[in-house]
Amino acid sequence: MNRVVRSAARGISRLTDAPLGPYQSAVVRIGFAATWLLFLLREFPHRQEMYGPDGPWSWDLARQLVAGNHAFTVLLWSDSQVWFQAVYFLALLSSALLLVGWRTRTMSVLFMVGVLSLENRSVFMGDGGDNVLHLMSIYLVFTRCGQVWSLDERRARRARAGDERLRPDRVGPALWGVLGCVLALATVAGRMSGGWLTLFWGLWAVQALWWYVARRAPHAEPRILLDIVANLVHNAALLMIMAEACLIYSTAGWYKIQGSRWQDGTAVYYPLHLDAFSPWPALSDLLSSHGVMVLLVTYATVVAQVAFPFTLFNRRVKNVLLAFLMTEHLVIAVVLGLPFFSLTMIAADAVFLPTSFLRRLGGWTARVRRRAVAALVRRERPGGPQPRAEEAADSAQADPTQVGSAV
């Protein structure tokens, strides 16, 4: 009995003491933010046709659809061009800032608003990758995804070190205050109601409470309680991201098993010969000309997707299948011309990457950055030494084991 109690106590302590998977949540944040940012930049010349008020899927048609499914989108608050451009640029800006981890809590909410607003405005413009991004943008709001590899983590590390050059934070409270005013105006104007109104006001109130407690009693029991609750919410959201990825693969795999083309091993052949998915016809012909390769890839895809959720209990097998699935998505991006679908799935898969691999990746990236900065300094100052401050900053940034608090 005592052994059971001790095991339960250790489990509860592990779930409440710290957010699990700080590196995994950070790479998921970076992956989805980068994917959405690249998509918005690529479609920038075509944004009017896809999401504009005068596009083929008109503003009135979108409003009728949203009135039935109650989807959230701020683009239907107004049919003016100024409002549309503002929302599109807000989506671009929030994606870039979430990518670098600046004011992560605020940017994750604005990122979700941008994703939901654009995708729900024109639901027929996307594909399966959009559905995944749609869900993951909501889950990211509840994670502490700025623990590592973010400007927030860098600021927290400098604050703990007592950096005298670090000024009191006025940007964060001012930003949240402005967003509170916008939310109040939207509430008074009747633009939001029901669950979404409760969600946004709840997020705003929690952030205000967090700031007040951190300012007045940073080491007292209320702050400790808030940390425990935040860790529980983070761990639950991370579990939801994992469950979503497993559900996607298992559903896709079991449906493939029922298809006759997947059963006879020829399913991969047909997409390679669709004009809409053949950006490199010569490459598609080369891959489809080998019958044995088509057969092996077809069966391997089904086996990997069906088996992946069950391999989470065996780390080595899971890592092998994870590498196969990521490689397959890279091939899909190139051969079938679906880069953003593939990047979305790779970002979702990244939640299962081993921590040791991510730490090595962070250390390698830091070394490359340090060498690039040193080379730039030598080019600007021939024969001159690199500034000590830069060396100290690079040395601290290069340590991938540093885990800061989410800000």
pLDDT tens track, the chain, 407 positions: 677 667 777 777 777 888 999 999 999 999 999 999 999 999 999 999 999 999 899 999 999 999 888 889 999 999 999 999 999 999 999 999 999 999 999 999 999 999 999 999 998 887 778 899 999 999 999 999 999 999 999 988 888 787 756 677 788 888 989 999 999 999 998 888 778 899 999 999 998 898 888 888 777 888 888 999 999 999 999 999 999 999 999 999 999 999 999 999 999 999 998 888 889 999 999 988 889 999 999 999 999 999 999 999 899 999 999 999 999 999 999 999 999 999 999 999 999 999 999 999 999 988 998 888 888 888 777 655 555 444 444 444 444 333 333 33
Residue 51 in contact with residue 86, Cβ under 8 Å?
Answer: no
User: What pLDDT was estimated at residue 384?
Assistant: 52
Residue 373 in contact with residue 390, Cβ under 8 Å?
Answer: yes
User: What pLDDT was estimated at residue 10?
Assistant: 74
Residue 80 neighbours by CB distance under 10 Å: 11
Which of 223-231's residues contact partners 24+ apart within 8 Å by CB, and which partners?
A: 228/16, 230/19, 230/144, 230/406, 231/15, 231/16, 231/17, 231/18, 231/19, 231/144
Residue from 21, 28, 6 nearest 235 by CA:
21
User: What pLDDT was estimated at residue 385?
Assistant: 53
Q: What is the pTM of this model?
A: 0.89
| Residue with the two structure tokens 């710290």 | 18
Residue 95 in contact with residue 115, Cβ under 8 Å?
Answer: no
Residue 30 in contact with residue 338, Cβ under 8 Å?
Answer: no
Residue 351 in contact with residue 245, Cβ under 8 Å?
Answer: yes
Cα separation, 202 vs 207, in Å, equals 9
How distant, in Å, are the alpha carbons of 291, 297, 298, 350 from that of 265? 9, 8, 5, 29
User: What pLDDT was estimated at residue 404?
Assistant: 33
Token pair belonging to 165: 């050059």
Cα separation, 272 vs 249, in Å, equals 21
Q: What are phi and psi of 367, to 5 degrees?
A: -65, -40
User: What pLDDT was estimated at residue 389?
Assistant: 45
